[in-house]
Amino acid sequence: MTTLTTLSCLPPVGGEATLYTHLNVREDALDLYGFYTQAELNAFKMLIGVSGVGPKSALAILSDMTPDKLALCIAAGDSKSLRAAPGIGPKAAQRIILECKDRIGASELSGEMSEVASQLRHETTNMSEAASALAALGYSPTEAAQALAGLAADMPVEDMIKHGLKALSGGR
């Protein structure tokens, strides 16, 4: 079994591909899961380590988002994005965030996403206020964090909000 992301990366039938695998041993079955990248495998293992999240739920989440986006959602506490995956309810999304928040680090994130997650973990009062204002305007915590990424922490809240809105509207 595999994610939709991995399926889309595979060559046509008859072609060769190398996959990272995870063997799930149950009392009544041996299930083999394959992933195109090491990051996807690591995210899968992290998700199935969460109480109440099984392999099917983990595959659903990873079919819905990349490992980087998953790590960013966890760092931002964005349960709404996690709930978009089939079979993931509010309680499961919160449990994933709670149990994985301390586990995600630079190894699970690429460069740009790592900077954003780092800012989220150590955000200042101004950054927090600006993110809250953008969230109040209907943007998800992940969108707000990405829009505010790279801004100086000592920038006034009003300017942060203006820059964030400009980034979210495509720079208009």
| pLDDT, averaged in runs of 10, over the chain (172 residues) | 82 88 91 91 92 91 89 85 89 89 61 52 64 84 80 82 88 54
CA-nearest of 148, 139, 150, 140 to 167 is 148
Question: CA angle, 117 as apex, 83 and 100 as ends, to 5°?
Answer: 50
Alpha helices in the chain (DSSP H): 4-9, 38-48, 55-64, 67-76, 79-83, 90-100, 111-121, 125-136, 141-148, 157-168
Give me the residue spans of the domains in the chain. 4-106, 123-172
Question: CA angle, 121 as apex, 118 and 123 as ends, to 5°?
Answer: 95
Q: Which pLDDT belongs to residue 106?
A: 45
CATH number of 123-172: 1.10.8
Using a pLDDT cut of 70, give the percent of the chain over it.
86
Residues near 170 by beta carbon (within 8 Å), at least 6 away in sequence: none
- Superfamily assignment of 4-106 in CATH? 5' to 3' exonuclease, C-terminal subdomain (1.10.150.20)
Give whole-number Cα distances, 126 to 20, 71, 104, 107, in Å: 42, 23, 24, 28
CA-nearest of 64, 172, 58, 160 to 119 is 160
Beta bridge partners of 23: 32
| DSSP 3-state of 156 | coil
CA-nearest of 39, 33, 77 to 54 is 33
Q: Which pLDDT belongs to residue 152?
A: 77
Question: Angle, to 10 degrees, between the axis of helix 125-136 and the axis of helix 157-168?
Answer: 50
Q: Which pLDDT belongs to residue 105?
A: 58
Contact 41, 20 (CB under 8 A): yes
